[in-house]
Amino acid sequence: MKRSLPPKAERHRHFGTVDPIIGTKPTDKEKMPDLQNKPADFYFPIQQVGISDVKYPVMIESELAPTTQTTTATFALTTSLDQDFKGINMSRLTEQLHLFFQSHLLTDQTLREFTAILAREMKQKAAHVRVTFPWFFTKTSPAMQKEGMAHANITYDVTFDEDKGYTSVITLTGAVTTLCPCSKEISEYSAHNQRSFVTMTVTVDERYEADWKAILLEAAESNASSILYPVLKRPDEKSVTERAYENPRFVEDLVRLVAADLYENEAVRSFEVQCRNEESIHQHDAIAKLSFSK
C-alpha cells in the first residue's frame, strides 16, 4: 500500500530546515564593505594570487585533423598584488574567463591578449595564465591506412608584465615507442621495447606564430623508434615492429635527438626535454632530462 507523505516543505522542516533570520547587514552591493580593496600596508607584495583547477570548454585549432575541435581545459589564473592592497576580487577572474572564451579560440596569441586583460581588469601590473588540455589528432596506420584518434597533453604558460612584456612557455607530453639498442645488440633474436613519454617545454619568441602542438609532436615522433597508432592490423603491426627494430633508441638518445630539433628552431629561445621509459623487462622506469638556453 502506497504511503501518504507530508508536503515537501514540511518534509524539509522535519529534516532540519528553518526559516531565514531577519538580517541586519546590507544586501545592496554598493553598501557592502569591500575588504579586498581596503588600502593599507600589508607588509609584502605577492607575485601570484588567484584561482586554479578551473575547468572550462574551449575551441582550439590544429594543423592536424580535426583542424577545429572542442576540448576541456583546466586553467590557473593569477595576478600580482601590490603591498598596499589586502587582496584581489577573485570573482572577476572567472568572469573574464567566461567573457573572453565565449568568442575566442584558445591559441598562444589569444592567451597573451587574455593575460593582459586580466592584469588590467584586476588593476595589477602582472598576470599569469596556465592552461592544460588534451589535444586530439588523427593517426593513420602505416600499411593499411586505418584511421583512429590519438592525443597528447598540452600546457600553455603565459605571463604578462607591464615592464617586461610577455613570456610564452609551451609544454607537450606525447607517447612513442623506443626499442632498446643494448637488447638488440646482445640478443640472438628480438629486442625488448617500451612505451616512452616525451615531455618538451619550450620558451618561444612571441613574434613567431606557429602551431606549436604540431611542431613539438613531430619532434617527439620523428626521433623515436616508432610512432604509436590507435588502430593496427597485422600488416601495420609488422611495419611498426620492423621500424622500431631499425631505429633503436636509449632514453639518452631520444632526449638528445629531440633537443637537436628544438635547437635548430629559430623561434625557440630555450627548452627542456624529458623522457620516461616504462621499461618492459624491469619494474622501474628509465628517465633522462636535458635543458638548454640559447
pLDDT tens for each residue of 124-142 = 999 999 999 999 999 999 9
Burial 211-241 (b: 16+ CB within 10 A, else e): bbbebbbebbbebbbbbbbeebeeebeebbb
From CA 77, how far away is CA 69, in angstroms rounded?
23
pLDDT of residue 24: 84
pLDDT tens for each residue of 32-75 = 777 777 778 889 999 999 999 999 999 999 999 999 999 999 99
pLDDT of residue 132: 98
pLDDT of residue 34: 74
87-95 long-range contacts (CB < 8 A, ≥24 apart) are: 87/35, 87/36, 87/49, 88/36, 88/49, 88/50, 88/122, 88/124, 89/34, 89/36, 89/37, 89/122, 90/50, 90/51, 92/121, 92/122, 93/50, 93/51, 93/54, 93/118, 93/122, 94/51, 94/54
* Of residues 215 and 205, more confidently modeled: 215
Residue 2 banded pLDDT, cuts 50, 70, 90: confident
pTM: 0.87
Written as one letter, the residue type at 63 is: E
pLDDT tens for each residue of 172-211 = 999 999 999 999 889 988 889 999 999 999 999 878 888 9
Do 200 and 267 meet the contact criterion of CB atoms below 8 Å apart? no
